[in-house]
Structure 1
Amino acid sequence: MQTRRRAVWQAVLWGSYVAVSLAMVSSFQPLNGSLAFVMVCLGLLLWAASEGLRALALWQRWLDRSPRSLLFCVVVMPPVFAALVQLALLVINKTGLALGWLSFPPGTPRGWGVLAGYTANTSIMLWLWLTAWVGTQLLTRWRQGEIAKWQAEAAARALELQVLRAQINPHFLFNALNNLRALINEDPARAREMLSRLSNTLRHTLMHSAKERVPLADELAVVRDYVALEQLHHEERLRVDWQVDPAATAASVPPMLLQLLVENAIKHGIARTAGGGVVEVVIRRQGATLTVAVSNPGPWAPGTSDGTGLGLAHLRERLERAGGQGAGCRIDAEGGRVTVTVTLDVSA
């Protein structure tokens, strides 16, 4: 299909060149069949020369070379092919005249100077053709590269979300199911409530994680469900102090951001601290800046590989992409507590 399309374009291009050339020649000398035949041969030879340049460029991988090497080929090779075209045309003329097949009107320009002029004209045409072809190929490569880049980024985002889902969901799912099974006989009404909270948590994880941003109010609702399920497991060892600015709930945040922070606080703070403690969730909004701070009891040392790095690394990547200008994540350890603070732009 591409070969046929290229052949059509080549026929139109060089056919038009022949037609324009015949019209220009007829303006200062009479035309005859021999002149028309020679001009048609010239068009066919230019077609062949342009295809030869294309084949040579592909064979020698001009487009993969340095800009200087590519420029050298584009400048030097068209005159070489133009000289070959004029040499072939000269052989056709000489042979036709010798055999009596061709006859040109009196006054038809001849000589080496005329041949040099024709060669220069042919070189210009092949320069223009080759420059257009190289530019088209480079533009196509750039577009393909951009498409491949966006496809790779989309695949990376999909993989990242799969990693987050795999990391977060199994972390508490089995404990929640076991606790619900024990609660069914003790408190059926509360068991039904906890089952609804578990359903909400899983639904949010599966449906909202594919989005760039979700309302903070939705995130808060699902995190409260998540905390209620974790309190079944940790009981009195887990207490949460919610300090949420009402003005912040209308903002949008990357999905599962708050849940990841709270999960890390429970997993690496409450679960490892004798007697448990309080997880503080502080959310404030000042203008277009939203601040989310989650703190938990326990120690933390920079550079430790205690399992917190992967989740927070994904969090930082997502903040760079969807958190807006100035988004960031900071970890502070002071007074026996660890605080993870996230800031992001919510002006959009």
Structure 2
Amino acid sequence: MTTRRRLAVQALLWSGYMAVSLAMVASFQPVNGSLVFVMLCVGAGLFAASEGLRALALWQRWLDRSPRSLLFCLVFMPPVFAFGLQLALYGVNRAGLWLGLLEFPPNMPHGWAVLASYTVNTTILLWLWMAVWVGLQMLDRWRLGEIAKWQAEAAARELELQVLRAQINPHFLFNALNNLRALVNEDPARAREMLSRLSNTLRHTLQHSAKERVPLADELAVVRDYIALEQLHHEERLRVDWRVDPATADACVPPMLLQLLVENAIKHGIARTPGGGVVDIAIRRHGATVSVVVANPGRWAPGASEGTGLGLVNLRERLVRAGGAGAGCQVTEANGRVTVAMDLAA
């Protein structure tokens, strides 16, 4: 809330209080100029006291203190301000009467007992005001904290996607361009086809990676393009066995997950296995869950210095965040083949 708006709300609040108080007094006795003057002083004093409490709370950082210390300040400081306000009003009344400027009804109570009574009433008002102010401040802090948390998560997600893009693009771009250059003279038609596949792969990497979910059909199309480009480099060493359940046609998945699995399978399986081998890609639906399994020849050595543990860590984190209930990822090795299986909500 801006300063101008806050002061306007304060003025409206205490003006309303003055109007209600004068109306209550008028129901018992006539209201003269002296009573109006005193009530104006009361409203101005409450305005000043509430603003003073707010300034003190901000200056001494009450909201950053422990709950016990905050409670102590909220309980004991409003009475101090209330007593100071009523003492000042008492002095104004006595001076006005002595100078003949104020005139009150003869039956109007006065004295120290009345001062104490008014102090209690003012304390209650300031307690209520402080309770509302502290509540609004806590709510605003919680809201700003939630915004900061979501901004941090969005920044982390964007950084993660940038890391994924940096991991994927340079991995095959150099070889793809070299192979395309050699293919231009040998088979121009195929070179144009492979150039289109490379364009599709890069466009998917740049555009779809910023989304939470993409259709599985789009992810499969770009992975097929990616594999075709890698087959230019590995030739007969890279063979792919696709088993895609037609029931998954309408599924949506987090972008680039399948591409990351296939990239790891080729980089750490096919490229390191003499004679290459087969990459198995199986996608099936089990009720509301889609299972994706990618298997390749090789060995699984978690924590090895030459491995790409970061990619799998990112994969697991993205599955937990975007894959829905039951999402997960497992890596196993058996009979000379490494299998990565992930389950996620469709």
Counterpart-to-counterpart distance in 1, 2:264 and 2:136 = 52
Shift of 1:187: 1.2
Counterpart-to-counterpart distance in 2, 1:36 and 1:289 = 74
Residue 110 of structure 2 aligns to a residue whose secondary structure is coil
Counterpart-to-counterpart distance in 1, 2:288 and 2:306 = 34
**Match for residue 48 of structure 2?**
48
**Match for residue 116 of structure 2?**
116
Residue ranges of structure 1 left out of the alignment (5+ in a row)? none
Residue 294 of structure 1 aligns to a residue whose secondary structure is strand
Residue 271 of structure 2 aligns to a residue whose secondary structure is helix
Shift of 1:2: 1.9
**Match for residue 16 of structure 2?**
16
**Match for residue 105 of structure 1?**
105
Residue 201 of structure 2 aligns to a residue whose secondary structure is helix
Q: Tell me if 1:27 matches 2:52.
A: no
**Match for residue 58 of structure 2?**
58
Alignment deviations for residues 298-319 of structure 1 (CA, whole Å, 9 cap, x no partner): 1112332333211111111111
Q: Is the 8 A contact 2:215 2:250 kept in 1?
A: yes
Counterpart-to-counterpart distance in 2, 1:2 and 1:325 = 43
**What amino acid is the match of 2:39?**
M
Alignment deviations for residues 252-285 of structure 1 (CA, whole Å, 9 cap, x no partner): 1110111100000000011111111111111111
Shift of 1:234: 0.6
Two-structure CA RMSD over aligned residues (Å): 1.2
Alignment deviations for residues 150-196 of structure 1 (CA, whole Å, 9 cap, x no partner): 11111111111111111101100110000010011111111111111
TM-score normalized with structure 1 length:
0.97
Counterpart-to-counterpart distance in 1, 2:98 and 2:268 = 98
Shift of 1:103: 1.5
Identity rate, percent: 77
**Match for residue 344 of structure 1?**
344
Q: Tell me if 1:214 matches 2:206.
A: no
Shift of 1:116: 1.4
Counterpart-to-counterpart distance in 2, 1:5 and 1:94 = 36
**Match for residue 199 of structure 2?**
199
Residue ranges of structure 2 left out of the alignment (5+ in a row)? none
**Match for residue 267 of structure 1?**
267
Counterpart-to-counterpart distance in 1, 2:216 and 2:156 = 25
Q: Is the 8 A contact 1:214 1:252 kept in 2?
A: yes
Shift of 1:113: 2.0
**Match for residue 311 of structure 1?**
311
Residue 269 of structure 1 aligns to a residue whose secondary structure is helix
**What amino acid is the match of 1:193?**
E
**What amino acid is the match of 1:197?**
R
Counterpart-to-counterpart distance in 2, 1:342 and 1:56 = 56
**Match for residue 288 of structure 2?**
288
Q: Tell me if 1:83 matches 2:83.
A: yes
Counterpart-to-counterpart distance in 1, 2:22 and 2:226 = 83
Counterpart-to-counterpart distance in 2, 1:325 and 1:306 = 32
**Match for residue 302 of structure 1?**
302
Counterpart-to-counterpart distance in 1, 2:253 and 2:24 = 69
Runs of 4+ with deviation above 2 angstroms: 301-307
**Match for residue 136 of structure 1?**
136
Q: Is the 8 A contact 1:32 1:105 kept in 2?
A: no
Alignment deviations for residues 92-114 of structure 1 (CA, whole Å, 9 cap, x no partner): 01111111111111100112222
Counterpart-to-counterpart distance in 1, 2:203 and 2:273 = 31
Give the length in aligned residue pairs.
346
Counterpart-to-counterpart distance in 2, 1:200 and 1:125 = 68
Q: Is the 8 A contact 1:213 1:254 kept in 2?
A: yes
Counterpart-to-counterpart distance in 1, 2:5 and 2:70 = 26
**What amino acid is the match of 2:9?**
W
Q: Is the 8 A contact 1:213 1:255 kept in 2?
A: yes
Counterpart-to-counterpart distance in 2, 1:84 and 1:155 = 51
